[in-house]
Structure 1
């Protein structure tokens, strides 16, 4: 899926095969949902080869989430941009990694940290998770203390202006980075991306999402954070 994945499990009695199951699942997701693979379910749907009734329950769930955030952001977040193919990756990443974390929990893991390209599911803990400074790669702008939570960041520093505001068709440039802490990575990643697509107004929107705590830096280098953000001492 184009990002590195690392896993740390501190429970001694969890079988090693549980880690194998995590990576097997993520590989399966890449094959099934990548818009860059011509035989994936997403690509076949985009070409009109599949009807809604033919879709897997997993893809139906992902597309429902995409539509939920499209409506909630007034179209700023949209996986069907004009002139581009269907690309639900912004939701698939967090959704699939959260599912992987649930596989670990089902296998008996209670204390683990699953990191997917900087987006993290933390179980047990507390875990200290650093958020990269949006303009200085060797610095952190905040360190979070997570226990049974997830955190995701949307920013411009890794892939440039890659998040598009669906309302204008232009790159979203109102923010430098926006980090969301939520109960699941499905929520954290989706809210972070959707809010970033909204630009500066996305900060207030993200802060209003149930169960979400937010840390953001806008294009004017102003810092915003919610009172409940779990900052490490």
Structure 2
């Protein structure tokens, strides 16, 4: 099947405080509607469990002592374990502990730097049965794609942090993820876990790899560290420094 005859359909919802879009291309993209609905439902459930902004989320109830971990959603222990694993894999540059509460500024547990990629990756499992179709899931700029035989690669734009809305680079991806962390949209929200102060050495870091969750974790860790050192095999990065200098891993495409 050539790109000229591929039909496309897109869905967009506001979930987890972010615009989330799903693009499907293939012979009958409309047939994906039920799978996409289940995808969005799973993201909304993850938000109900892990949102640091919702007073009624299980995460906030756990923080306030109103909910015991044994009584929480079954995914809570999984995510807390993954946060510990992320801290280990990044030599402490990703740490969900002691982060400032987005509403009060007080230190707290906030796994949202891992949860978005984790939840999007889980939700994308609902698209796995779309034989002959490719799809792209974009969760607030973090992108996970899958193609089908004969389809062209997806083209993922990397935003210029100095001019949001302008594309700095374009990377072609057939299967896998591209995640970006930085201060272009949310200000200096990434914390150096070793000092407890905002990490300001870089404007943005984009990481490409097979897993969206781990690409997002490593992008956040690289932004906190201020360099691309520490990316594991299979992952590559593009870093924009505070002065606008752009550095790429040797294996970054293009």
Say yes or no: TM over 0.5. Answer: yes
Note if 1:190 corresponds to 2:217. yes
Distance in 2, matches of 1:31 and 1:109, equals: 33
What is the CA–CA distance in structure 2 between the aligned matches of 1:68 and 1:180, rounded to whole Å?
Answer: 18
CA drift at 1:108: 4.4
CA contact (8 A) 1:79 1:87 kept: yes
Q: Given the superposition, is the C-alpha separation of residues 107 and 57 from structure 1 closer, same or farther in structure 2, using an over 3 Å criterion? A: farther
The one of 4, 7, 10 equivalent to 2:25 is: 10
Report if the CA contact (8 A) 2:90-2:218 is conserved: no
Report the Cα distance in structure 1 between the residues aligned to 2:128 and 2:196, rounded to whole angstroms.
Answer: 40
1:152 Cα deviation from its structure 2 partner: 0.4
Task: Using the TM superposition, give the Cα deviation of residue 150 of structure 1 relative to its aligned residue in structure 2, in angstroms.
Answer: 0.6
- The answer on whether the counterparts of 2:39 and 2:123 sit within 8 Å (CA) in structure 1 is yes
Greater Cα radius of gyration, structure 1 or 2: 2
Map 1:33-48 to 2 at 5 A.
33-48=50-65
Aligned equivalents of 2:185, 2:166: Cα separation in 1: 14
Q: 1:100 and 1:179 mapped to 2: Cα distance?
A: 22
TM-score (norm: length of structure 2): 0.82
- Structure 1-normalised TM-score? 0.89
CA distance in 1, matches of 2:107, 2:229: 29
Higher relative contact order (CA 8 A, sep 6+): 1
- Contact 1:149–1:183 (8 Å) recurs in 2: yes
Equivalent position of 2:179 in the other structure = 152
CA distance in 2, matches of 1:60, 1:211: 27
Q: 5+ unaligned residues in a row in structure 1: which ranges? A: none
1:211 match: 234
- Structure 1 distance, partners of 2:115, 2:95, is 13
Within-5 A mapping of 1:16-165: 16-81=33-98, 83-106=106-129, 108=131, 110-124=133-147, 125-165=152-192
> In 2, Cα distance between the equivalents of 1:109 and 1:151?
23
Report if the CA contact (8 A) 1:178-1:216 is conserved.
Answer: yes
* CA RMSD in angstroms, aligned pairs only: 1.9
Cα 1:230/1:68, change in 2 over 3 Å: same
